[in-house]
Structure 1
């Protein structure tokens, strides 16, 4: 396990400035009675896009610039399953001029330690041409509110 993967396990709710609740569904479980690993990526998309739409004035169907996922990851620490309510925590670990790296902590409601931590990197592109572009000012301003200095790298 790398140093950064080990530090993810030690995240707490206080490490995330924005939260979204998610009520698990029966169909989220796999045959082992825990949330299927592919569902976590749906959760990541849900919190990131909810934030972009409500706090960054992003309108995916109308925006001239959109974010495309270029890498993703997830580390699993404890099983989560239906009928739990989950709290998804969002932070930004890197904010560039045309890219952003998100981190999502997945917490069982009421717990301070995550069951999983993951995220992805968006690169912003022109929606029509798909050529790299700087993110809109409203998007950058909204995302800057989520930037958290990672104390483990200091």
Structure 2
């Protein structure tokens, strides 16, 4: 079973496994009828932390970069519920970095917690903005992504 789908391995993650963090203050609208954050909201959080990192640290501009990342697969494992009002810390790391693709792992921690409530992620394939054909990750973007590579990926 791959690391991305092995819930037991993911449940053992800790805050120190993630080199980049973004805070998120939950909103009342994030809760569902059962008074916890709706599952679909987590995918918004994953997208937010990944794109914040790409913009701030990997020289990628969604409006002007010659290439864009398209999500080709995603996953999420839920370990404990979260609900409004809470501040969440979104941890990000890269598990696989190829020539034109990257797989991210995101952990959602309640502020101050060391154990994640949710771990998920997705894979981006980079393509030319206009032709939508696969494109090698640019050197600037690759350099930024390499800073997030998990230790097991560097072996």
Q: TM-score, normalised by structure 2?
A: 0.94
Partner of 2:120: 118
Equivalent of residue 150 in structure 1, options 136, 149, 152: 152
Partner of 1:108: 110
SS in 1 for 2:88: strand
SS in 2 for 1:133: coil
> Residues 10-89 of structure 1: matches in 2 within 5 Å?
10-89=12-91
Alpha-carbon displacement from aligned partner over 1:40-87 (angstroms, at most 9, x marks no partner):
000000000000000011111111111000000000000001001000
CA distance in 2, matches of 1:2, 1:82: 32
Deviation at 1:2, TM superposition (A): 7.6
SS in 1 for 2:141: helix
CA distance in 1, matches of 2:87, 2:120: 18
What is the count of residue pairs matched by the alignment?
A: 152
Structure 2 residues without counterparts, runs of 5 or longer: none
Deviation at 1:5, TM superposition (A): 1.8
Q: TM-score, normalised by structure 1?
A: 0.95
Structure 1 runs (4+) greater than 2 angstroms displaced? 1-4
Alpha-carbon displacement from aligned partner over 1:111-136 (angstroms, at most 9, x marks no partner):
00000000000000001010001011
Partner of 2:130: 128
Deviation at 1:150, TM superposition (A): 3.2
Structure 1 residues without counterparts, runs of 5 or longer: none
CA distance in 2, matches of 1:90, 1:40: 13
**Alpha carbon RMSD of aligned pairs, Å?**
1.5
